[in-house]
């Protein structure tokens, strides 16, 4: 059994992932990592023959990828070797001997009130184009859906993948809440939203026919659940029309978190609402919110302004 090849071991690892009910996104990331690692090896080696040097050379072969991507590769390989060690297919996890890349902390830039207004306006109408020499535009048929999505993400901080997984039955419009069934790490939670957001979701659902509880809450043009890539493309397109760079779903999560703290929300409740298992990311939001408070105090301080 110890001499099985890498590809055979991958099949067993995939069965284990299915049995553990890992999220589809996690399994997709792991499978992608294992596929490109198998291609790097060039031959289907017995797993005991694969060494930490193979892993080091694999990670070093990518000169243009971000550290975050390389860290994902390291995590995926380590997960498989942990499983193989437990199954006694290998003696130890060789990936632990390889120093993991340190992911760069991306700068968090929340959207402003004016940004949100511009995006909502841009979602309503197409780019200006010319027909018979005249500049025209038209109203976009997906506006009701896109507006409801934007407001829900801004109002709850829900992740893109979580939003795409929502079903109609997860919506409680009477009490203005959504039920996130499987967040990152399978953390279920109930998130409140504003009556205004609930009204816009109701208006969107009113445009659909024969809506059932088990239907996706947000659907594409071909009546399938929204996908993260389509969601990102929708925001990117609206951002381009509005003249706002780098608009992506996660910026609405950042914006929700910063505004929540600015408006008096406490950090531990925010951690629960965001579905974070640790406090590290919330600390970043706290730091940004504190910077805002310091700047406001500098402008508003009576001692400084009255020159006492």
Residue-wise pLDDT tens digits, 107-163:
778 899 999 999 999 998 766 666 666 666 667 789 999 999 999 999 999 999 999
pLDDT at 53: 95
pLDDT at 104: 66
Closest CA to 115 of 150, 90, 142: 150
User: Is residue 85 over pLDDT 80?
Assistant: yes
pLDDT at 25: 79
pLDDT at 50: 95
Give the mean model confidence (pLDDT) for residues 205-210: 94
Give the integer Cα–Cα distance in Å for 191 and 158: 8
Give the integer Cα–Cα distance in Å for 122 and 206: 22
Extract the runs of DSSP E, i.e. beta strands, from the chain. 129-131, 134-136, 171-172, 177-180, 189-192
Tell how far CA 124 is from the center of its chain: 24
Tell how far CA 202 is from the center of its chain: 25
Closest CA to 218 of 226, 230, 208: 226
Give the mean model confidence (pLDDT) for residues 185-201: 87
What stretch of H or E contains 92? none
User: Is residue 299 over pLDDT 80?
Assistant: no
Residue 284 binned pLDDT confidence (cut-offs 50, 70, 90)? confident
pLDDT at 23: 79
Look up tokens 């706002």; give the residue: 244
Tell how far CA 276 is from the center of its chain: 12
74 to each of 77, 210, 297, how far by Cα in Å? Answer: 5, 46, 44
* Residue of 103 and 29 predicted with greater confidence: 29
* Residue of 260 and 8 predicted with greater confidence: 8
| Three-state DSSP class for residue 190 | strand
Residue 188 binned pLDDT confidence (cut-offs 50, 70, 90)? confident
> Comparing 118-127, 150-159, 227-236, 292-301, which segment has the lowest mean pLDDT?
292-301
> 6-97: what fold?
DNA polymerase; domain 1 (1.10.150)
* Residue of 287 and 143 predicted with greater confidence: 143
Give the integer Cα–Cα distance in Å for 232 and 236: 6
Give the mean model confidence (pLDDT) for residues 192-204: 95
Residues designated catalytic: 159, 184, 250, 253, 276, 285
pLDDT at 26: 87
> 113-282: what fold?
hpI Integrase; Chain A (1.10.443)
Do the two domains 6-97 and 113-282 of this chain adopt the same fold? no
User: Is residue 96 over pLDDT 90?
Assistant: yes
| Three-state DSSP class for residue 5 | strand
User: Is residue 241 over pLDDT 70?
Assistant: yes
Work out the mean pLDDT of the chain and round it to a whole number.
Answer: 87
Give the mean model confidence (pLDDT) for residues 161-178: 94
Which sequence spans correspond to the domains of the chain? 6-97, 113-282
Closest CA to 167 of 123, 129, 211, 208: 211
């Amino acid at each position: 059994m110890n001499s099985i090849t890498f590809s055979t071991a991958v099949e067993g690892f995939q069965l284990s992932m299915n049995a553990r009910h890992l999220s589809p996104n996690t399994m997709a990331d792991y499978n992608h990592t294992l596929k490109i690692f198998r291609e790097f090896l060039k031959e289907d080696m017995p797993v005991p023959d694969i060494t930490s040097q193979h892993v080091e050379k694999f990670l070093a072969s990518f000169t243009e990828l971000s550290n975050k991507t390389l860290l994902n590769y390291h995590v995926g390989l380590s997960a498989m070797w942990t499983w193989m060690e437990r199954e006694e297919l290998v003696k130890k996890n060789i990936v632990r001997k390889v120093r993991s890349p340190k992911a760069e902390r991306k700068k968090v830039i929340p959207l402003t009130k004016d940004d949100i207004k511009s995006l909502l306006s841009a979602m309503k109408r197409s780019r200006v184009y010319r027909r018979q020499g005249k500049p025209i535009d038209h109203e976009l048929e997906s506006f009701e859906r896109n507006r409801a999505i934007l407001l829900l993400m801004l109002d709850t901080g829900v992740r893109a993948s979580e939003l795409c997984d929502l079903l109609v039955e997860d919506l409680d419009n009477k009490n203005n809440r959504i039920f996130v069934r499987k967040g990152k790490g399978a953390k279920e939670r109930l998130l409140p939203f504003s009556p205004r957001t609930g009204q816009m979701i109701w208006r969107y659902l009113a445009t659909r026919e024969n809506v059932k509880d088990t239907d996706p809450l947000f659907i594409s043009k071909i009546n399938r659940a929204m996908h993260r890539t389509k969601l990102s493309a929708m925001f990117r397109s609206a951002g381009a029309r509005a003249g706002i760079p780098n608009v992506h779903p996660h910026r609405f999560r950042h914006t929700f978190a910063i505004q929540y703290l600015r408006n008096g929300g406490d950090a531990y409740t925010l951690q629960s609402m965001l579905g974070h298992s640790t406090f590290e990311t919330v600390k970043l939001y706290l730091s940004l919110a504190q910077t805002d408070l310091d700047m406001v105090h500098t402008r508003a301080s009576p001692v400084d302004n009255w020159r006492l």
